[in-house]
A and B are shown apart, each in its own frame.
Chain A
Amino acid sequence: MKTSKKDDDIKAFYENRKSKNIAVFGIIIFMVILFFFITILRMDITG
């Protein structure tokens, strides 16, 4: 019973880590796109 609980915890740990990594990846992509647009729009203003 104890082992089963630990296995469940480990499974939940990997699932959490995976979803967290996906969230961080999504945020990085969002930032890249955001900074790209900021650069393009700022160039329009100054140029």
Chain B
Amino acid sequence: MSLIATNTDDVIQDSVKLGSPLDYFRLMKPRVMSLVVFTAFVGYYISTPVSGYDLNPFLASIGIFAIALGAGASGVLNQWYDRDIDKLMNRTKDRPIPQGKILASEALSFGIIVSVLSVIILGLSVNWMAASLLAFTIFFYAVIYTIWLKRTTVQNIVIGGAAGAFPPVIGQICATGNIGVESLTLFLIIFLWTPPHFWALALIKKEDYANANIPMLPIIYGDEVTKKNILIYTLLLIPSSFLPWVLGYSGLIYLVIVSVCGLEFFRRSLLLFKKNNGAEKSLFLYSIFYLSVIFAGICFDKLIDMGI
């Protein structure tokens, strides 16, 4: 009897702590969601208009909303699984689960329900091929990256980076019903952009990752190897960023943007490689700017091309 009473008290105590809608929104990693929505939109936008495949703009908007939900759901599942290490890291200790604002079981239920809903909404509103790829992306991020790779290999963010690179492909499937070379080049750009971005962050937050025992490159092989790898991936990223122009679906405006931004990316990577203190933070912030600007550049170029 006393056991039941204690459990009831626990239930009441736990329920009192249940998070606000804002906590649930934070659980969905809104900054990552916004980047996913943006890149998916670019994948969609560069593929339109398509003859013989007329997607209602309202349905397309619902599709983008579903992709945002899917990205949020995978963020929730990531935070549910990483709740033990999140509380050990300064960068993540303020997240809703380590803060005790949302119960782990609530987060898991929420993540699964939103994942399923996002796939169903995308399938019904746009097409089931896009929905299948969204489902695979959620699986890739939550299971392949979060559960399997993140704590076991130093190549975690290299392979896991594919999860963040799928949204433009989903966007193109929404627009055309097929995968085309345009979205595959965007996939490649994001895939090659991810290692310099996250390794710069790992250099800044090295102690955090070490406390949580996550095998990031600076912890396993040290700063010098990390900086060298950042430079290598930068040298792969910059020529790849020219592909939209090489393949002819972006014009001179994009060429100018990517040339200027690519040179600056290279300069900052080189500065970091030459043992410049503080350059990792500068590179990390610039990498976000770089991806946003070149993707915006692709859209802007197309707007001009269409005579707007």
Contacts and interface: CB of A to CB of B under 8 A. Distances in A.
A12 B59 contact: no
B73 interface: no
A13 B16 CA distance: 5
Interface string A1-45: 000001001101100110010010000000100110110011011
Given A34-B121, A38-B125, A42-B124, A13 B62 contact: no
Contact of B12 (A10, A37, A45): A10
Nearest to B117: A31
A9 B125 CA distance: 43
Interface in B262-277: none
A37 B56 CA distance: 12
A41 B55 CA distance: 10
B59 A41 contact: yes
Contacts of B124: 35, 38, 42
A41 B15 CA distance: 41
Q: How large is the interface on A (under 10, 10 to 19, 20 to 34, 35 or more residues)?
A: 10 to 19
Contacts of B54: 45
Contacts, number: 40
Nearest to B63: A38
B18 interface: yes
Contacts of A6: 9, 12
Contacts of A37: 58, 62
A9 B58 CA distance: 45
Nearest to A31: B117
Contact of A17 (B15, B56, B59, B62): B15
Nearest to B14: A13
Interface in B101-125: 117, 121, 124-125
Contact of A20 (B9, B18, B125): B18
B14 to A, nearest CB: 9
B121 A16 contact: no
6 contacts: A9-B16, A35-B124, A37-B62, A38-B62, A41-B125, A45-B59
Given A35-B124, A38-B59, A38-B125, 14 more contacts: A6-B12, A9-B13, A12-B15, A16-B15, A16-B18, A17-B15, A37-B58, A38-B121, A38-B124, A41-B125, A42-B59, A42-B125, A45-B56, A45-B59
